[in-house]
Amino acid sequence: MKLSKDEIQCLALLDKCGIPAHSCYLDKKFITFFIPNRYYRSVLRKVKSRSQTLKKKFSKTIELFPYDENLEKCLELSLKAFGVNPLAITLKGETVLIKLSVDDKGKIFKNISKFKRFKELLKNTFEIKTIKV
């Protein structure tokens, strides 16, 4: 996993606020973080209570996803943040195939920009080439 200077600064600033983060992805308007699963719920509460302060510090909107070292578990946890339950997650080399029901695909495509940021964060963290739904 390679981090840019800006990403390292964002992780350090979040750590300074008492929020542990594993990795992040920067976009024009958003910063997307992976938070270790054991801290995820408490971090959500902290971010919601300090959202205006953090938004001023970062000057971007913050998105959080739960992180686990196992790729399949991480995908399952993070997809639940979208309100989606995957039917199957298959790893084929550097490609991840996610099988979803029709309703769940609709939920993903309603939040396609958020899902694209999530995919980039996954690619950076786990060194995956492609993710197919």
Sequence spans of domains, the chain: 5-67, 71-132
- Predicted TM-score (pTM) of this structure: 0.87
Record: fold of 5-67: GMP Synthetase; Chain A, domain 3 (3.30.300)
- What pLDDT shows up at residue 112? 93
CA separation for the pair 31, 95 (Å, rounded): 24
pLDDT score for 8: 87
Per-residue model confidence (pLDDT) at position 1: 64
Which overall architecture, per CATH, does domain 71-132 show?
2-Layer Sandwich (3.30)
According to the model, what pLDDT value does residue 35 have?
92
Q: Which residues of the chain have a pLDDT value below 70?
A: 1
* Equal CATH topology for 5-67 and 71-132: yes
Burial class (CB in 10 A: 0-12, 13-18, 19+), 22: buried
Q: What is the CA radius of gyration of the chain?
A: 15
